[in-house]
Amino acid sequence: MAYWQWGDPHSTHVLVCVHGLSRQGRDFDVLAQALCAKAGNTIRVVCPDVVGRGQSDWLKDPAAYQIPTYAADMLVMLAQLKPGTLDWVGTSMGGLIGMVVCGQPDLSPSVRRLVLNDVGPRIQWQALQRIGEHLGQAVQFSSLQQAADAMLAVSTSFGPHTPAQWLELSRHMVKPVGDASGSVTLHYDPAIVLPFAAMTPESALQGEAMLWQCYDNITARTLLTRGAQSDLLSSETAQAMMVRGPKARLVEFEGVGHAPTFVADDQVQTVASFLLE
């Protein structure tokens, strides 16, 4: 499993940032640089490419592309990093992984501060179906710009971005095909869709019960960020997360659905203030 690192590589204050289902660790470039600047480079920001994505290896058995595998990988990574102080930022799937990791009673050190970005123990089934419509398609693009345009067409819920911001977010979402054409393709293993597609409303309910148990075990001070128009994290679930478990503080961003990208200044400032105050 590859990871991207910002700040002081020897700092014992480690912030782990984990991306969404079909994304990769470079999603956090803007946030990581802002945090390091505000902290005077006294922290170490680690942004992994979850297995099957980005620069990380692909699994031989696609059935293992599930949260328990990802959480186990993160625990191994933390054992290698040996943080003295540990914080976590998780977007969508990265937040689910964070709930599982933070819900471990014997985790040492325990997570001090946790940011859950547009995700909770209960996920709206319709949103999962929407995401699944575009997942796992082996497509090629003639250029980065063509790829960025295609991804923008299915990512309007991320909220407004300048053309330059969107191109930068898209740059690490593709990789060269490897022939003379100069074409690019999406960065992830198309097989990540297989366990996702096998999910049923019944299995989703079973997973929800486990995630609520993990959430209720969390002791970290928790910030819940939500796109005000999110179809994945309902307002009702967000309200429930404010009154149970770590009793998360909720901040909503207008004009955004699933999920905030932490590129806009107000989003970066919200997260940075919470983590560094």
Report the CATH number that the domain containing residue 241 is assigned in CATH: 3.40.50.1820
Two structure tokens written together for 157: 């819920």
Please report whether residue 113 resides in a domain: yes
Per-residue pLDDT, 135: 80
* Measured distance CA(70)–CA(241) in Å, rounded: 23
* Burial zone of 112 (CB within 10 Å; 0-12 exposed, 13-18 middle, 19+ buried): middle
Backbone angles phi, psi at 253, to 5 degrees: -110, 120
Interhelix angle 125-133/201-217, nearest 10 degrees: 110
H or E element, residue 141: strand 140-141
Per-residue pLDDT, 275: 98
Closest to 150 measured CA to CA, from 158, 164, 136, 139:
139
* Measured distance CA(172)–CA(7) in Å, rounded: 20
pTM of the model: 0.96
Please report whether residue 179 resides in a domain: no
Query: Which residues lie below 8 Å from residue 93, measured CB to CB, with a gap of 6+?
Result: 18, 19, 20, 21, 50, 67, 70, 119
| Residue 28 contacts residue 47 (beta carbons within 8 Å) | yes
Per-residue pLDDT, 178: 79
The β-bridge partners of 18 are 90
**Structure-token match 């990789």, residue found:** 175
231-244 confidence digits (pLDDT tens): 999 999 999 999 99
* Measured distance CA(245)–CA(192) in Å, rounded: 31
Please report whether residue 137 resides in a domain: no
Please report whether residue 263 resides in a domain: yes
Q: For the chain, how many structural domains are there in total?
A: 1
Please report whether residue 166 resides in a domain: no
Range of the domain at 259: 3-125+201-276
Query: Which residues lie below 8 Å from residue 88, measured CB to CB, with a gap of 6+?
Result: 15, 16, 17, 18, 98, 101, 102, 111, 113, 114, 115, 220
| Residue 44 contacts residue 77 (beta carbons within 8 Å) | no
* Measured distance CA(70)–CA(51) in Å, rounded: 7
Please report whether residue 100 resides in a domain: yes
Residue stretches of the chain with pLDDT short of 70: none
- Tell me the helix, strand and coil percentages in the chain, rounded to 5: 45, 20, 40
Please report whether residue 8 resides in a domain: yes
Please report whether residue 190 resides in a domain: no
pLDDT > 90 fraction of the chain, expressed in percent and rounded: 83
